[in-house]
A and B are shown apart, each in its own frame.
Chain A
């Protein structure tokens, strides 16, 4: 039931012999195996309201995920929403599909982005995000390998819950999810009361403010929660 190629991939991952959990090592292995500069395995809430990095390799992948969650746009979110694998060989030619994300990502020198949906059966749990400075799509077996590696990651993420160390999924979520995202949700709640409107509108206001003041959503949220910033109706 395990294909030749899968066996080959597992052997390569084994050979890399790094420290860390099987999930971390699989994440590390994507860099040489798929010829990318950075990778991140991220949990994502079904409605994309939250997420958390559970494994990361190379530079800047974490920031790429946070950026997409902050902006509410990006290939990782699209791949997750549609349960597909997305290749963006060159952000510079992505036709304004993700204007905010593309601009910020290109500014870091990233040209190629790949996003593989993670799930168990039909239940989505997150995304495997990869990026590279050199533009260009996956070649040869890379696309199929990326899918296989994504499936391995899915199994390993869920394994984190089954290994006895963290038995409650809520504990997994708490342990894995970045505490700094909490502040964004708190600010959303506060602003919704301040402007006397719904949570989505409140978040949109926060995002718009962050964009027009060229600040991160997290910084703006912190100002709101620490009462240095108020919004009006």
Chain B
């Protein structure tokens, strides 16, 4: 096994590990792009993820130069990453100088010193969540083995990213559930306080509370908290 192969295997192990144990998304993305440059023949690599509006955002780059970052950003209008993201396929161009594709992007890429490009989709089954952009200074097609390895890395990264997203969404939901539980308690307690203060029943107390909240443009929960804190009493509501 060559050094390159050994190092590549190691990278796969590291990536797979992040899926199982403590997960650091930034770390994962950095590992992915730097491996593309160190082992897979790219001179610069960028990882783009689609945001909520389908806009490709740079999440990791081996090159912090503004010109390079702009190259990634440009592709939101037209470019290999956009094509790869939309089709879910690898999109390659061996010579940007002579190509008639993505005129704006090609011009900027050549100006920044890059002649060849490969864009690999980050996908899980039918869902494409972004693209991995490999840029090379020299014209010519990328090495097939390199591209294949990069695709495999992208697949592993895609799983990790999706997993992290699901975890975040679940956590958000869990927090909202907790909030809903405590809101309910506050509101019921406030109903009791108001009912006793006014000598009315809890249903009527709730009506008054809701009306007050609506007229002030505040949530019932916030008004209930005020009742419990003594800042709002039945006399303020009638």
The reply to whether the CB of B190 lies closer than 8 angstroms to some CB of chain A is: yes
Q: Which residues of B contact A26 (CB under 8 A)?
A: none
Q: Which residues of B contact A44 (CB under 8 A)?
A: 181
Distance between Cα atoms of A173 and B179 in the complex (Å): 9
Distance between Cα atoms of A14 and B19 in the complex (Å): 26
0/1 string, B22-43, CB within 8 A of A gives 1? 0000000000000000000000
Q: Which residues of A contact B202 (CB under 8 A)?
A: 186, 225
Partner of A155, one of B20, B170, B190, B192: B170
Q: Which residues of B contact A169 (CB under 8 A)?
A: 173, 176-177, 179-180
Q: Which residues of A contact B176 (CB under 8 A)?
A: 161, 169-170
Q: Which residues of A contact B188 (CB under 8 A)?
A: 182, 185-186, 189
Distance between Cα atoms of A192 and B230 in the complex (Å): 12
* A: interface residue count bin: 35 or more
Judge whether A125 and B177 touch: CB under 8 Å.
yes
Q: Which residues of A contact B191 (CB under 8 A)?
A: 186, 189
Judge whether A43 and B228 touch: CB under 8 Å.
no
Q: Which residues of A contact B19 (CB under 8 A)?
A: 1
Min C-beta distance of B188 to chain A, whole Å: 3
Beyond A169-B179, A177-B184, whether A185 also contacts B170 by CB under 8 A is: no
Judge whether A190 and B195 touch: CB under 8 Å.
yes
List, sorted by A's number, 21 A–B pairs whose CB atoms are closer than 8 Å. Answer: A45-B178, A45-B182, A46-B181, A50-B181, A50-B184, A120-B167, A123-B174, A123-B178, A125-B178, A161-B177, A162-B169, A169-B179, A170-B183, A186-B188, A186-B191, A189-B191, A190-B195, A190-B196, A192-B193, A193-B193, A199-B228
Q: A174-B184, A190-B196, A225-B202 are in contact. List 20 more A-B contacts (CB 8 A).
A: A43-B177, A120-B173, A120-B174, A121-B170, A123-B174, A124-B178, A158-B170, A161-B176, A162-B169, A162-B170, A170-B176, A172-B180, A185-B189, A185-B192, A187-B192, A189-B190, A189-B228, A190-B193, A191-B192, A225-B192
